[in-house]
Amino acid sequence: MPSKYSLALSSNDLAIDLGTTNTSVYVQGKGIVLHEPSVIAISRNGGRDHKVLAVGNAAKQMIGRTPQKISAVRPIRDGVIADFEIVESMLRGFIALIDRRRGLVKPRVVMSIPTGITPVEKRAVRETALSAGAREVHLIEESLAAAMGAGLPFIEPTGSMIVDIGGGRTEVSVISLGGIVLSRSIRIGGDKMDEAILQYIKRKYNFLIGSSAAEAIKLAIGNAHPSASPQSFEIRGRDLVSGIPGTLTIDSSDVRGALSEEIGAIVEMVRVTLERTPPELSADLIERGIVLTGGGALLKDLNLLLVEATGLPVILAPDPFSTVILGCGKVLDDLDILRRIGYKPAPASA
């Protein structure tokens, strides 16, 4: 039976955004063809040996529901690979989802990486992609890819600020002349927000919910600014006093309180980055403002909070979920961009 992603592909080359929460794949000439959770379900055969049972959505549905011999895991944590062997298997699974015939010709791959990771981590990412079947791998920082995907003039001698809020981390970068002038990151993103909601409800209401329920609350009534209209949301979980499953209605003010520490840390990082930005580029930011990208940028009224904190215009990217993969896709479609921004791609054997 053909995969739902099967395509009559004119190119074998791929761009991959390997995120903490989701993985996206872009095919040259076709655009984004896959966006699935960064989850893999495996069964262990003893030691490090394992068999892949599912990847993506199918694997995510197994989280918290597997028997002892099966594990549904997220092998990328806080934006970096925690288990390279498992990530290699997950990448193979995603490539197979796109088209099972692709293995006949090894693809050239452009991959995003967190800004500021070490050379050892870069080499490990490249080797993981090569082991998963790539013939050539080009790496580009997520902030720069996000700037490209958001349509910012990243090559020009003008300053742009990107705030990229992903599943595992938030990066704030000032970009000019095809490079990152200044960058800061913290390991706070969508996952930490979900955990904060979960723990808040547990402490305040003695009610236990799962991470999926916490994410649902965040998406439904999460907000960052007190001016937001009150909303409520009913969730299912377990009462910790009686031990009996039940339901609980949560108010949007509860969610804002639960997220206050995480949102406060992101706002403070933006302020600190602005304070350290060279004055010439600061002048550009007064005109261009701050661009929000990443799934976490969709938190309601986060832009209003940042406007109050910085006094600058804050713009949500046209497609926050996809800015990084779209930027990687632009590089894949025109590898000369790498030369123009001063990159020196390593050979496949590196």
- Residue 306 sits in a domain whose CATH number is 3.30.420.40
Give the per-residue pLDDT at 117: 82
Q: Do 63 and 89 have their domain in common? A: yes
C-alpha span between 64 and 120 (Å, rounded): 33
- Gap between the Cα atoms of 308 and 223, Å rounded: 15
Look at residue 350 in the predicted model and tell me its pLDDT. 37
Task: Tell me which of 222, 239, 258 is where a domain ends.
Answer: 258
**Which candidate, 348, 16, 341, places its Cα nearest to that of 179?**
341
Pair (182, 223) in one structural domain:
no
Check whether residue 137 and residue 50 sit in a common domain. yes
Shared domain for 98 and 26, answered yes or no, is yes
| 2, part of any domain | no
Q: What is the CA radius of gyration of the chain?
A: 21
Task: Determine the number of helices (DSSP H) and then strands (DSSP E) in the chain.
Answer: 11, 18
In the prediction, which pLDDT does 44 show? 75
* Whole-angstrom distance, CA of residue 139 vs CA of residue 130: 12
Which residues, 6 or more positions from 336, have their beta carbon under 8 angstroms from its beta carbon?
none
3-state SS, residue 332 = helix
If you search the block for the tokens 């293995």, which residue do you land on? 103
Assess whether 109 and 24 both reside in one domain.
Answer: yes
> 347 in a domain, yes or no?
no
Q: Within a domain: residue 345?
A: no
- Among 263, 254, 330, which Cα is nearest to 301's? 263
pLDDT of residue 347: 46
The reply to whether 165 and 285 lie within a common domain is: yes
- Identify the three-state secondary structure at position 108: strand
Place of tokens 């960052």: 224
Domain count, the chain: 3
Per DSSP, the residues of 269-324 read: HHHHHHHTS-HHHHHHHHHH-EEEESGGGGSBTHHHHHHHHH-S-EEE-SSGGGHH
Q: Are residues 141 and 157 in the same domain?
A: no
Tens of pLDDT along the chain (350 residues) come to 345 544 434 457 899 998 889 999 999 888 999 999 999 999 876 666 788 899 999 999 888 788 888 888 899 888 788 888 899 999 888 888 886 545 556 888 999 998 878 888 888 889 988 988 888 899 999 999 999 999 998 888 999 999 999 999 999 999 999 889 999 999 999 999 999 999 999 999 999 998 889 999 999 999 998 887 889 999 999 999 999 999 999 999 999 999 999 999 999 999 999 999 999 999 999 988 999 999 999 999 999 999 999 999 999 999 999 999 999 999 998 888 887 776 655 544 43
19 falls within a domain:
yes
What is the pLDDT, as a whole number, of residue 100?
A: 52
Both tokens of residue 36? Answer: 């699935």
Q: Is residue 1 part of a domain?
A: no
Show which of 258, 276, 292 is a domain's final residue: 258
The model carries a pTM of 0.87
| Number of residues that make up the chain | 350
Alpha carbons 207 and 76: distance in angstroms, whole number: 28
Q: Determine contact, residues 326/32, Cβ cutoff 8 Å.
A: yes
What is the model's pLDDT at position 339? Answer: 79
CATH of the domain at 226: 3.90.640.10
Do both 57 and 83 map to the same domain?
yes
> Contact 317/150 with Cβ under 8 angstroms?
yes
Pair 116, 225 in one domain: no
Domain that holds residue 265: 153-188+260-320
Domain boundary pick from 258, 289, 311: 258
Element (DSSP H or E) covering residue 129: helix 119-131
Provide CB contacts within 8 A for 221, sequence distance 6+. 231, 232, 233, 250, 251, 252, 255
On whether both 163 and 305 belong to a single domain, the answer is yes
pLDDT for 34: 92
Smallest Cα–Cα separation from 333: which of 30, 101, 73? 30
52-56 long-range contacts (CB < 8 A, ≥24 apart) are: 52/89, 52/90, 52/92, 52/93, 54/93, 55/90, 55/93, 55/94, 55/97, 56/23, 56/93, 56/94, 56/97
Q: What's the pLDDT score for residue 49?
A: 72
Residues 179 and 284 in one domain: yes
Query: Would you state the pLDDT for residue 9?
Result: 41
199 shares a domain with 228: yes
Tokens representing 133? 């079947």
